[in-house]
Structure 1
Amino acid sequence: MRHTSRTITAIAAPVLAAALLVVPAPTAAAGPAEPVYGELVRNGTFDTVTAPWWGAEKASIAAVAGAMRITAAGTGTGTSGNLWDAVVGQNNINLRQGATYTLSFDAKASVPRTVKSTVQLGTAPYPVSLDRNVELTTTSKRFSWTFTSTLTTGDGHVDFQVGGLPEQNVITLDNISLTTSTAREGFYTDPANNAVKWADANSDPREAKIKAAIGDHNSSKWFGNWDADGNPNTGIQAEVSNYVGAAAAKGKLPVLVAYNIPGRDCGGASSGGSQDAALYKTWISAFAQGINGRPAVVILEPDAVAQSSDPACVAGEALEARFDMLWYANQHLAAQGPLVRTYLDAGNASWTLGPDFSGNSGIGLQRMAYLLNRSGVSMARGVSIGVANFHSTDISNQYGARLATQIKNDFGVDSRWVIDTARNGNGSYVTPGVPSSGHVGFCNPTGRKLGVTSRAGTGGAEYLLWIKNPGDSDGNSAQCPAGSPPAGAFSPNLAEALIDGR
């Protein structure tokens, strides 16, 4: 793929408690189907009410000042009772065996004390997937554990056992959350990424090093014309479905890259794509259907928007067709629902702003905002920045913030951004001895380094992601170092250089 510097016009293992909840919880009234992905707890913020939370035995609950106040009755003067003598909980939580979950909440008590937090089956013998003692003080603290469910059930409970003291006391809970298949539970690693396949197929002294540093962290899978272009019933839909399903089964969030626009990469090292607009629409529609509403991050068509400003690449009717295809893609991905987050690619900081960051870049920002708006960014979650590029996270965040402001000011659209950090550990390449040269050397430049692995974002970015898989070549054109493999081919030499930062 071509990238230029020109300006454009508590992991918690299951712990079985000696004493589990023995009093059946209240039965919830029938209602709509409960979620399987994303946020599973209902009303964890208690803005006005406590429902559907319940208090059993010696626990009474009320919404007070935007939190749940639990009054736990004493068990009798001079008598110390059991934690399960007073219980607060929520029913009908969907759990899947083997999937990853994160439980988190804020809590304090009127006196320092111990309570118990569990995620468990709501019927006898009440097996637990998470069982943690929580030490509370009079100051609110945040508690969080990530665990793997041992249960498959639609009757999971999130419970808090708050009995055990002889005197009445008050516990305050707020911001209770149980999630799965979100960034909090981690990003899915493609088990068949190029680094892993190379390590498995070769006897090489670098094998363990490359697998540990790269193969075990590659979090994006690219889909393009190699995935049954024009034959969605036998190819792309099934491939996407299988990949997203494998991630969902583990409770992880998959990152997919759709890279199949006609005229891809303007005939450069990563050229290809669908043969025409009709085939592309068929392909991207099947791609979206393969996700089937499950949690996923989609990076949509790296370079396609930025390169649309180059008349030597796409112009006239072809330009209008590109806008139409990207709009169509955003429409169909948006139709998959709120668990699918699409980021329309917005190039990189140098491509849009110029290398000097002089402030004389308004036209570039305005132009990019215009192109993104024509391509349907209003239907996307936001934009992707620096895909297959090397700019530092700070520089990409500066660009993201300025671009988001421009899009908001010009078109009234709120836009977030994600950053490709796969190869930006040393920032972008500059001509040795000429720091003013800015970003040059887009194709396998030396001295680059792995960036932080996929995670929730910092500095304004929603996510930091490994999008370009490290070790995969940028191409073998005349602009690349001698001996570079073809675009997309894995090179252990490039991989090791990124690990070592050389």
Structure 2
Amino acid sequence: MPARVSARTARTLTAAVATAALAALAVAPAQATTAHRPGGERRPPAALYTPPANADANRQIVDLLRHGKLRDAAGVLAMTLTPQAVWYGDGTPAQVESSVRATVTDAARKHALPVLALYNIPGRDCAQYSAGGAANTAEYEAWIDAVRRGIGDRPATVILEPDSLALLPADCGADDAQGSLTAARYTEIHYAVEALEPLAGTKVYLDAGHSGWHSVNDIVPRLAEAGIADASGFFLNISNYRSDSELAWYGKLISSCLAYTATGGAAADCPNQFWPVNDAQGWLDAHVHTAPSAMKHFVTDTSRNGQGPWTPPAGVYSDAQDWCNPPGRGLGARPTLNTGDPLLDAKLWVKIPGESDGQCTRGTAGPNDPERGYPDPAAGAWFTQQALELVHDANPPLLPH
């Protein structure tokens, strides 16, 4: 804001901010709940934690207010005031330990449950838009040890390494002939599970991609190899756009197949998301008799799936990158621990809505995103145009009409 504004302008902006905040609070879901661990241990009642907003989001809100776009300002503010994950990637062990401790301490003070997205696996994102991560297994394990110390005995939900299992080194030609990097990936994930899951009040969820990616028969062995038996469960749809109903069915199929294989069955025999629903349900009824409370649970990312996945125009792009800043998407269901589904522990906003997926060129020479006519911001940078799209197309609506 400029150093000098008129008193009338200051009053107008203040009133607008207050109106926006009230609107946001009016649509914020009640989060009070008592979560359960598989063994029956109770956590204290918790609200999901809302971290400080991206500084550029706040700048966008102020800019919208200056231009008299009060409803848009209220919408972006409401979006930033909705519980979201806190991401940790890169940084030294000392830095991540301090930062994690500050987050979980602040959350505990507010009687809230923080969602920590850990994103530092070696070979992260197969050297694509979000390349980086620890240099090797030893460095990663030291980083995880620091996260463990930072969490301590305070509650936390851990989203462990998005894309780590759905995008193995072997999937993108990054491995050697012996498969040593993929083997190391499984070792690293299992190490993190064993380090973090035993902490009091901590639940760890592993990567299972989403329903438009791997089949159930493919992802279940990966989860097993990575140590799902020792974790609370798995996560779906991080930074993606699949619908809630599609994810619920996919998650049920994965949970059921994990239960089936735990008793000696083969993952190849399980029904997958491409089976007719009635056929798949019939198979489950005949072969899976484990109670939902004893099965592996899952969480979903609903931050941007309000309009479902984007269907690219046919025959236009050699690589449409339907996951990368697709146009016309909207915020999805508000985060909640009260899902009504015995296998679905939470709907969460893991991807920070309004932050770019990267500079998408969709198989063209670039630098413009051909769907938008201008270059997208770098991965993780604030994307003002997309933030407004998400607010305008939110489903359910973000603000009352």
TM-score exceeds 0.5? yes
What RMSD, in angstroms, separates the aligned Cα atoms of the two structures? 2.6
Query: How far did residue 478 of structure 1 move?
Result: 2.2
Q: 3-state DSSP class of the match of 1:417?
A: strand
Q: Which residue of 2 aligns with 1:317?
A: 180
Which runs of structure 2 are paired with 1:164-183 in the superposition (5 Å)? 180-182=44-46
Q: Which residue of 1 aligns with 2:252?
A: 401
Query: How far did residue 458 of structure 1 move?
Result: 4.0
Q: Which residue of 1 aligns with 2:197?
A: 334
Structure number with the higher strand fraction is 1
Q: Which residue of 2 aligns with 1:307?
A: 167
Query: How far did residue 319 of structure 1 move?
Result: 0.8
Which runs of structure 2 are paired with 1:486-497 in the superposition (5 Å)? 486-497=378-389
Q: Which residue of 1 aligns with 2:207?
A: 345
Aligned length: 306
- 1:59-101 deviations in Å (ceiling 9; x for gaps): xxxxxxxxxxxxxxxxxxxxxxxxxxxxxxxxxxxxxxxxx99
Query: 1: CA distance between counterparts of 2:49 and 2:223?
Result: 28
- Distance 1:302-1:418 versus aligned 2 partners, 3 A rule: same
- Distance 1:326-1:244 versus aligned 2 partners, 3 A rule: same
- 1:261-294 deviations in Å (ceiling 9; x for gaps): 0111111111111111111111111112211021
Q: 3-state DSSP class of the match of 1:302?
A: coil
Q: Which residue of 1 aligns with 2:291?
A: none
Query: 1: CA distance between counterparts of 2:206 and 2:241?
Result: 19
Q: Which residue of 102, 126, 132 maps to 1:242?
A: 102
Q: Which residue of 2 aligns with 1:468?
A: 351
Q: 3-state DSSP class of the match of 2:205?
A: strand
Contact map agreement 2:205 2:235 (CA 8 A) in 1: yes
- 1:173-220 deviations in Å (ceiling 9; x for gaps): xxxxx97453xxx21100243564434775654572344231111411
Q: 3-state DSSP class of the match of 2:212?
A: helix
- Counterpart check, 1:390 vs 2:271: no
- 1:328-373 deviations in Å (ceiling 9; x for gaps): 0001011213x10111111010111xxxxxxxxxxx3222111111
Query: 2: CA distance between counterparts of 1:220 and 1:261?
Result: 18
Q: Which residue of 2 aligns with 1:4?
A: none
Query: 2: CA distance between counterparts of 1:283 and 1:307?
Result: 21
Contact map agreement 2:32 2:45 (CA 8 A) in 1: no
Query: 1: CA distance between counterparts of 2:160 and 2:324?
Result: 21
Task: Give the counterpart letter for 2:159 in structure 1.
Answer: I
Task: Give the counterpart letter for 2:81 in structure 1.
Answer: D
Query: 1: CA distance between counterparts of 2:375 and 2:359?
Result: 7
- Counterpart check, 1:215 vs 2:80: yes
- Distance 1:294-1:268 versus aligned 2 partners, 3 A rule: same
Query: How far did residue 377 of structure 1 move?
Result: 1.1
Unaligned runs of 5+ in 1: 1-99, 105-177, 353-363
- Counterpart check, 1:449 vs 2:341: no
TM-score, length-scaled by structure 2: 0.71
Query: 1: CA distance between counterparts of 2:199 and 2:137?
Result: 21
- Distance 1:349-1:289 versus aligned 2 partners, 3 A rule: same
Where do 4+ consecutive residues of structure 1 move more than 3 Å?
A: 100-104, 178-181, 192-207, 431-434
Q: Which residue of 2 aligns with 1:361?
A: none
Q: Which residue of 1 aligns with 2:397?
A: none
Unaligned runs of 5+ in 2: 1-29, 35-41, 264-293, 363-368, 395-401
Contact map agreement 1:343 1:381 (CA 8 A) in 2: yes
Higher alpha-carbon Rg: 1
Q: 3-state DSSP class of the match of 1:462?
A: strand
Task: Give the counterpart letter for 1:330 in structure 2.
Answer: V
Task: Give the counterpart letter for 1:389 in structure 2.
Answer: N
Task: Give the counterpart letter for 2:194 in structure 1.
Answer: Q
- 1:425-484 deviations in Å (ceiling 9; x for gaps): 0111113589xxxx9611000111001121022444210000001100000042355421
Query: How far did residue 313 of structure 1 move?
Result: 3.6
Structure number with the higher helix fraction is 2
